[in-house]
Amino acid sequence: MSESSLGVRYRGAVAGVASPIAYRPCLRYDFTDEWNNLGYGAIRMDGSIWACSQNIQWTEQSASSGLADLIIADEVVGAYAGLWDSPHASLLWFNRPVGPVDGHDWRLVETFLAHHRHAELPCQPVLAEVPAGYRCAVTMRLDCDEDVESARALWTAYREMGAPFSLALHAKVLEDPTHHSLPREVLATGGAILSHTATHAPDWGGSYEAALWEGSHSAAAIQAVTNQPVRYAVSPFHQTPAYARAALADAGYAGCIGGIIRNDPDFLMARAGVPPGSSEGFIGHSQQCMLHGDCMLDGDDPLCIFKQAFDLALASGTFLGYLDHPFSERYQYGWASETQRVEMHRQFIKYIQGHDDVLWANESDTLDFLGDRASVRVSGYGSWSVHPGSANSRWQVAVEYAGTTHPLGTEGIHL
């Protein structure tokens, strides 16, 4: 793990809710400069929309309204977020054009809109990311870059522990019939199969045309093996440029999983939904948490960071998506053995299962629900109408408003 000395420290709350993440380094990596297993993006200093806007300090009068500071080694070096209340208005401010849109601290924005001073000021309904009745949700997958059958031991462990299992298939691997059986067995036991491109080309091949070919050929190859259509994709290297999103939608996909701190920051979002620049109905979901041997920590608890990632999802009401890769002859992703890898997965599952009101879902069911959530229609002002859209999932969307949470039934609700 490595992180910048400059970071954001939260010290206030909104409507009684503190930021799920108390301290957020501006840059943080668990593996080279690619993975931040805690899920958030980078706060830059380059003048972009992802950067802090200005070097600004708290005045004596404004310091009490501060929610978050920029700090270096516990020394406050600037202002990052504040909340001001007047008799007839409230103002939530972030020293960054995009605010906390790429981190768990986005929960403060949701709380501000849905609940802050709801007895005095207008509020707006906020659609929770996880289904009604749950505190958070978890989904996992294996990205089968070079092998599929070697995932069997891990699949067996997940079945024994009652946790859903998903495979993202690289179509090139399926040219070997050895790898045909496990995907079919996964589907037959309630798991999910996703596309992981035809050739695993960086940036989906570098153009719209290449991405369209990658997506189309991969879906056709997988369907030929499983006899099931493929509705969702996983980006190679987690690179998901805008042209690839458009190409995948045109190839018939309903969504894509990506998100990585190195690139495409507009895809690495705190909440799933229609990615920027994408067509309505195409869902993006950021799943940056990589359960790899390369990321195991020394000491008493090698899974410390992964448990922290789950704790953040629990505190922020998030769908936590994590991934691993099957072994291959070339690479074992830092794992000492299959026995070690299976044991670490078992321990992580056991930790998650030790918490109440947590939903486990395979990747397809996850994205089906998130697509339903994105299709919900909200209208009005002061008096609101909330109506469901698509109904691909068996779970209900939860609507937060004015201090309460309502399940969204088929008839909709009026607030």
pLDDT at 145: 86
pLDDT at 309: 98
Question: By the 8 A CB rule, do 180 and 174 touch?
Answer: yes
CA distances to 8, 92, 315 from 68, rounded to whole Å, are: 6, 11, 18
Sequence-ordered list of residues with C-beta below 8 angstroms from that of 71, at least 6 positions apart, any chain: 6, 7, 8, 9, 77
What is the number of other CB atoms lying within 10 angstroms of the CB of residue 174?
21
Mean pLDDT of the region 310-335: 91
pLDDT at 229: 96
User: How far is Cα 244 from Cα 239, in angstroms, rounded to an integer?
Assistant: 9
136-367 is classed in which CATH architecture? Alpha-Beta Barrel (3.20)
Residue 60: which of 79, 33, 81, 75 has the closest Cα? Answer: 79
- In this predicted structure, the answer to whether residue 221 has a pLDDT above a threshold of 90 is yes
pLDDT at 168: 97
Quote the percentage of the chain above a pLDDT of 70.
100
pLDDT at 330: 77
Length of the chain: 415
User: How far is Cα 285 from Cα 248, in angstroms, rounded to an integer?
Assistant: 14
Q: How confident is the model at residue 131 (pLDDT cuts 50, 70, 90)?
A: very high
What's the mean pLDDT when you consider all of the chain? Answer: 95
- In this predicted structure, the answer to whether residue 195 has a pLDDT above a threshold of 90 is yes
Q: What is the pLDDT of residues 368-409, one digit of tens each?
A: 999 999 999 999 988 999 999 999 999 999 999 999 999 999
- In this predicted structure, the answer to whether residue 246 has a pLDDT above a threshold of 90 is yes
Structure tokens given for 151: 């995932």
What values do phi and psi take at 28, rounded to 5? Answer: -150, 135
User: How far is Cα 97 from Cα 324, in angstroms, rounded to an integer?
Assistant: 34
Q: How confident is the model at residue 247 (pLDDT cuts 50, 70, 90)?
A: very high
Q: How confident is the model at residue 331 (pLDDT cuts 50, 70, 90)?
A: confident
User: How far is Cα 380 from Cα 316, in angstroms, rounded to an integer?
Assistant: 27
Q: Work out the angle at residue 38's Cα, subtended by the Cα atoms of residues 35 and 44, and round it to the nearest 5 degrees.
A: 70
Mean pLDDT of the region 300-310: 96
- In this predicted structure, the answer to whether residue 329 has a pLDDT above a threshold of 90 is no
What is the number of other CB atoms lying within 10 angstroms of the CB of residue 274?
17
Structure tokens given for 230: 């493929």
Amino acid of residue 40: Y
Q: How confident is the model at residue 29 (pLDDT cuts 50, 70, 90)?
A: very high
Structural domain spans, the chain: 2-122, 136-367, 375-414
CA 51 to centroid of chain Cα atoms: 21
Q: How confident is the model at residue 98 (pLDDT cuts 50, 70, 90)?
A: very high
Q: What residues are paired with 385 via a beta bridge? A: 379, 414
